[in-house]
């Protein structure tokens, strides 16, 4: 079995190549950080070839989780050949990783992806000359159009198992130093060339893995210091600068620009990423997205779909069929009121979700969302987060599970944990039906309710960042922000279609695997209970098991304004899947009859948008945190924050209406005061640390 490893920079099109080669439908996005773990699949038409899609990286230095995953896979020997996917429009930058991969000692084929886009920019690459300079096969490709992929795979399969081309040498002095270290490693490690270069850079992880004797470490250090004295620079800088020099010379010799590059992206970025225009543009764009999906257009589509398809084509004919075949009343009730009332109500929001997914996918694919992460970096850092934290926030508008997983793109560990804790505050696709239900029932279908929910989620992220970064368990270390900004281009219809289809299918699957059984359980518990004759079907919900259980929980939600047993049951079952909140009301009754007024309904919506996410997202949090303690902290914080927010919203609303000060009002005031104190403490701590860093920097400069 031949294993081909796909390696390359972020946003170079690796996952598109992987999908085209294997027939997979992995998520593709026009931004960095989409692939955060390796994926393997059999090559189409070849049962003896496996393709492994590795996370996008800029180098093999283990500074990020993606770099560690990629490096460990290539060192493990599982792949026999590397297909290095490089961005043809940015060849010089891409070749740095190519030179590192060549040091691995594995055969390598260089695939210049997006060659068609490069040619449109007037960039002509002499692949034969580049192949001679590097000593590896070079193939022009266009993954989206399927051009050059077969040739690249054919060359990779042919090269697998053969002796790798000797890597492009460093300068004579550096090459001698690396060769000396290689000789010291003979018999202690395979891929000695790569290990020698890594040790020359004093890679601590490599030292740990090799467990070298102290005398060998001393000899290696002597070689490194000798070369540092010769160059007057650090070993790490020597390797990096010489690799960049090689990449620059190779690109200069092989790349010919026949015309000036298009500056359309730069012109657009003057407005989209401008100092004063970036945030207003972002606010307008997101308001437009939710105006269309949750406003008149989305509501009209959902109403038509529910009335025509769900009720007209499925529910009503099914009811008539069950009555015609003389089914028992309880079975008719279970199928129509339980299953169709729960599942049908949820699926009825599918057109709104599809419209939301289409617009978000268009924004991602055209290149805008990558800019938003760049814009948000400075803004997010003030709140203890990284600009890369915006990527999980963005993904969370679709689903919380991949959002939590994509937190791996955040380099700093404290910022990564904070991102995991706060990412699911953003309204995901499963929460849109809840927003639409409340907006439609209590606010006349107003589109601004969805926009308010979105920006409330964003505000919750930022406020939580301020609160959490003041805690001792979150170190205030900073990490550099490095992110690929792709050129603007028209969205590819097939990629948008695939993305939307994948998300919609996932929503429908959840309706069948989670909502359906949950709705059945809700209906059964609503219709059974204890009576004079024992445990049996009951006529009134007041006698049901579900109501008795719900009333035990309802008291805890009373201060939030939704102390009914139906709302309590919905909030608990919403942990299975957020769309189940709507499914529960589809079984238990109309939301307009369950809530006292629009204020209690709004409080209910806010609590369920911000509290701990669904079971699937909780599982993802557990996996990414890799700690029961951190997982418990994350879920507890989310729930406490949601409860405090809903409490402040409802009690403030009651105070404004009546002017009366109650125990609830005082509790809400204390909750708000506590949050303000934590934020001020965090701000003071950050300010003191900045002062200390500034003084330390000045002292070092003076010394």
The pair of structure tokens assigned to 290 is: 């939710």
Quick: pLDDT tens for 510-552: 777 777 787 788 778 877 887 666 676 776 766 788 888 888 8
- For residues 121 and 89, is the Cβ–Cβ distance under 8 A? yes
DSSP for 545-608, please give it: HHHHHHHHHHHHHGGGT--SHHHHHHHHHTTT-TTHHHHHHHHH--HHHHSSSHHHHHHHHHHH
pLDDT at position 505: 83
3-state SS of 85-131?
EEEHHHHHHHHHHHHHHHCCCCCEEEEEECHHHHHHCCEEECHHHHH
The secondary structure of the chain in percent helix, strand, coil, rounded to multiples of 5, reads 65, 10, 25
pLDDT at position 689: 56
Round to whole Å and give the CA distance between 469 and 466: 6
Taking CA atoms, 215 is separated from 186, 207, 222, in Å, by: 15, 13, 11
- Give residue 671's pLDDT band: very low, low, confident or very high (50, 70, 90): very high
The pair of structure tokens assigned to 66 is: 């993606």
Residue 596 DSSP symbol:
S
Instruction: Please tell me the CATH code under which domain 172-257 is placed.
Output: 1.10.287.1770
pLDDT higher than 60, residue 34:
no
Q: Positive or negative, the Cα torsion across 303, 509, 28, 478?
A: positive
Round to whole Å and give the CA distance between 308 and 314: 9
Round to whole Å and give the CA distance between 289 and 80: 46
Estimate to the nearest angstrom the gap between the alpha carbon of 570 and the chain centroid: 27
Give the list of residues 6+ apart from residue 102 with CB closer than 8 angstroms, or none. 108, 134, 136, 164, 165, 167, 168
- Give residue 243's pLDDT band: very low, low, confident or very high (50, 70, 90): confident
Helix (H) or strand (E) holding 52: strand 46-53
How many CA atoms does the CB half-sphere of 248 hold within 13 Å?
6
Architecture of domain 2-159: 3-Layer(aba) Sandwich (3.40)
Which residue, 458, 478, 427, is CA-closest to 608? 427
Residue 544 DSSP symbol:
B
Q: What are phi and psi of 31, to 5 degrees?
A: -165, 165
Round to whole Å and give the CA distance between 383 and 180: 48
Provide, rounded to the nearest whole percent, the portion of the chain with pLDDT above 90: 14
The contacts found for 220-223 with CB under 8 angstroms, 24 or more apart, are: 220/181, 220/184, 223/177, 223/180, 223/181
Q: At what angle do helices 580-588 and 565-573 cross, to 10 degrees?
A: 150
- Give residue 33's pLDDT band: very low, low, confident or very high (50, 70, 90): very low
Helix (H) or strand (E) holding 345: helix 345-347
- Tell me the mean pLDDT in the region 671-685: 82
pLDDT higher than 60, residue 500:
yes
pLDDT at position 225: 92
Quick: pLDDT tens for 330-358: 888 888 877 887 677 777 778 887 888 88
Greatest mean pLDDT among 25-34, 170-179, 294-303: 170-179
The pair of structure tokens assigned to 641 is: 């924050």
pLDDT at position 483: 59
pLDDT higher than 60, residue 91:
yes
Coil, helix or strand for 25? Answer: coil
pLDDT at position 591: 73
Instruction: Tell me what the pLDDT averaged over the chain comes to.
Output: 81
Provide, rounded to the nearest whole percent, the portion of the chain with pLDDT above 70: 89
Quick: pLDDT tens for 204-234: 888 878 888 888 889 999 999 999 899 888 8
3-state SS of 386-423?
CHHHHHHHHHHCCCHHHHHHHHHHCCCHHHHHHHHHHH
Q: What are phi and psi of 50, to 5 degrees?
A: -115, 140
pLDDT higher than 60, residue 116:
yes
pLDDT higher than 50, residue 700:
no
Q: Positive or negative, the Cα torsion across 99, 100, 101, 107?
A: positive
Greatest mean pLDDT among 61-65, 225-229, 388-392, 437-441: 225-229
pLDDT at position 30: 43
pLDDT higher than 50, residue 697:
no
* Domain 172-257 in the same topology as domain 2-159: no
Which residue, 642, 635, 289, 639, is CA-closest to 454? 289
Q: Which residue has the higher pLDDT, 278 or 648?
A: 648
Return the exposure string of 338-349: e unless at least 16 CB atoms fall within 10 Å of the residue's CB, then b: bbbbbbbbbbbb
- Give residue 571's pLDDT band: very low, low, confident or very high (50, 70, 90): confident
- For residues 141 and 109, is the Cβ–Cβ distance under 8 A? no
pLDDT at position 27: 45
pLDDT at position 633: 92
pLDDT higher than 70, residue 663:
yes
Taking CA atoms, 532 is separated from 103, 389, 527, 538, 544, in Å, by: 81, 58, 15, 10, 13
Pairing of strands 108-113, 81-87: parallel
- Tell me the mean pLDDT in the region 684-698: 55
Which residue, 638, 618, 675, 578, is CA-closest to 418? 638
Q: Give me the residues paired with residue 7 across strands.
A: 84
Q: Which residue has the higher pLDDT, 96 or 26?
A: 96
Quick: pLDDT tens for 592-651: 778 888 999 999 999 999 998 887 788 888 888 888 899 999 999 999 999 999 999 999
Which residue, 523, 66, 453, is CA-closest to 287? 453
Q: Positive or negative, the Cα torsion across 634, 637, 640, 646?
A: negative
Q: Which residue has the higher pLDDT, 620 or 166?
A: 620
Look up the pTM and report it.
0.62
- Tell me the mean pLDDT in the region 410-439: 84
Which residue, 250, 19, 272, 49, is CA-closest to 136? 250
Taking CA atoms, 560 is separated from 569, 646, 648, in Å, by: 15, 6, 8
Quick: pLDDT tens for 431-475: 888 888 888 888 887 878 888 888 898 889 888 888 887 777 775
- Tell me the mean pLDDT in the region 103-114: 89
Coil, helix or strand for 487? Answer: coil
DSSP for 449-464, please give it: HHHHHHHHHHHHHHHH
3-state SS of 125-187?
ECHHHHHHHHCCCEEECECCCCECHHHHHHHHHHHCCCCCCCCCCCCHHHHHHHHHHHHHHCC
Round to whole Å and give the CA distance between 333 and 185: 75
Q: Hey, where are the domains in the chain? A: 2-159, 172-257, 281-509
Q: What are phi and psi of 508, to 5 degrees?
A: -65, -40
């Amino acid at each position: 079995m031949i294993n081909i490893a796909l390696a390359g920079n972020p946003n170079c099109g690796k996952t598109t190549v992987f999908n085209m080669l294997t027939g997979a439908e992995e998520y593709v996005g026009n931004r960095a950080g989409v692939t955060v773990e390796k994926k393997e699949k059999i090559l189409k038409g070849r049962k003896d070839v496996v393709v492994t899609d590795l996370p996008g990286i800029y180098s093999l230095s283990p500074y990020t989780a993606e770099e560690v995953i990629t490096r460990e896979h290539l060192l493990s020997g599982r792949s026999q050949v590397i297909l290095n996917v490089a961005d043809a429009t940015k060849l010089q930058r891409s070749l740095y990783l190519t030179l590192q991969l060549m040091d691995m000692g594995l055969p390598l084929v260089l695939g210049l992806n997006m060659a068609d886009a490069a040619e449109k920019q007037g960039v002509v690459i002499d692949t034969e000359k580049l192949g001679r300079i590097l000593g590896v096969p070079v193939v022009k490709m266009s993954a989206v159009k399927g051009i050059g992929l077969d040739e690249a795979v054919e060359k990779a399969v042919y090269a697998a198992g053969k002796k790798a081309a000797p890597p492009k040498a460093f300068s004579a002095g550096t090459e001698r130093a690396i060769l000396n270290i290689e000789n010291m490693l003979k018999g202690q490690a395979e891929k000695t060339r790569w290990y020698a270069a890594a040790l020359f850079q004093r890679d601590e992880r490599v030292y740990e893995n090799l467990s070298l004797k102290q005398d060998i470490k001393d000899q290696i250090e002597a070689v490194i210091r000798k070369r540092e004295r010769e160059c007057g620079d650090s070993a790490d800088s020597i390797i990096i600068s010489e690799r960049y020099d090689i990449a620059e010379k190779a690109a200069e010799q092989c790349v010919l620009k026949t015309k000036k590059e298009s500056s359309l992206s730069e012109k657009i970025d003057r407005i989209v990423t401008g100092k004063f225009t970036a945030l207003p543009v972002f606010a307008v764009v997101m308001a437009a997205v939710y105006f269309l999906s949750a406003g008149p257009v989305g509501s009209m589509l959902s109403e038509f779909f529910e009335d025509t398809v769900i009720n007209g084509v499925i529910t009503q004919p099914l009811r008539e069929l069950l009555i015609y075949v003389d089914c028992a009343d309880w079975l008719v009730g279970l199928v129509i009121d339980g299953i169709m009332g729960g599942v049908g109500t949820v699926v009825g929001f599918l057109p709104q979700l599809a419209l939301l997914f289409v617009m978000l996918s268009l924004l991602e694919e055209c290149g805008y969302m990558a800019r938003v992460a760049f814009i948000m970096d400075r803004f997010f850092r003030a709140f203890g987060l990284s600009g890369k934290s915006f990527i999980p926030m963005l993904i969370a508008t679709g689903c919380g599970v991949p959002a939590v997983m994509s937190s791996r793109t955040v380099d700093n560990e404290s910022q990564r944990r904070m991102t995991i804790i706060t990412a699911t505050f953003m309204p995901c696709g499963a929460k849109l039906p809840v927003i639409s239900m409340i907006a439609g029932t209590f606010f006349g279908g107003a589109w601004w309710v969805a926009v308010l929910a979105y920006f409330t989620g964003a505000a919750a992220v930022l406020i939580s960042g301020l609160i959490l970064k003041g805690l001792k368990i979150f170190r205030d270390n900073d990490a550099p922000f490095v992110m690929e900004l792709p050129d603007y281009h028209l969205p590819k219809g097939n990629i948008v279609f695939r993305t939307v289809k994948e998300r919609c299918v996932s929503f429908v699957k959840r309706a069948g695997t989670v909502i359906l059984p949950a709705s059945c359980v809700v209906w059964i518990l609503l219709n059974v209970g204890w009576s004079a004759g024992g445990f049996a079907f009951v006529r009134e919900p007041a006698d049901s098991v579900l109501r008795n259980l719900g009333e035990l929980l309802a008291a805890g939600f009373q201060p939030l304004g939704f102390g009914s047993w139906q709302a309590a049951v919905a909030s608990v079952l919403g942990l299975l899947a957020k769309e189940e909140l709507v499914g529960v009301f589809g079984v238990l009754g109309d939301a307009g009859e369950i809530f006292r007024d629009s204020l209690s309904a709004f409080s209910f919506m806010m609590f369920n948008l911000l509290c701990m996410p669904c079971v699937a997202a909780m599982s993802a949090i557990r996996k990414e945190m890799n700690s029961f303690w951190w997982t418990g902290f994350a879920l507890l914080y989310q729930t406490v924050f949601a409860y405090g927010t809903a409490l402040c919203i409802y009690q403030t609303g009651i105070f404004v209406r009546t002017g009366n000060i109650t125990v609830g009002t005082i509790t809400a005031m204390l909750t708000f005061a506590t949050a303000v104190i934590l934020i001020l403490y965090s701000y003071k701590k950050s300010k003191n640390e900045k002062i200390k860093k500034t003084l330390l920097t000045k002292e070092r400069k003076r010394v």
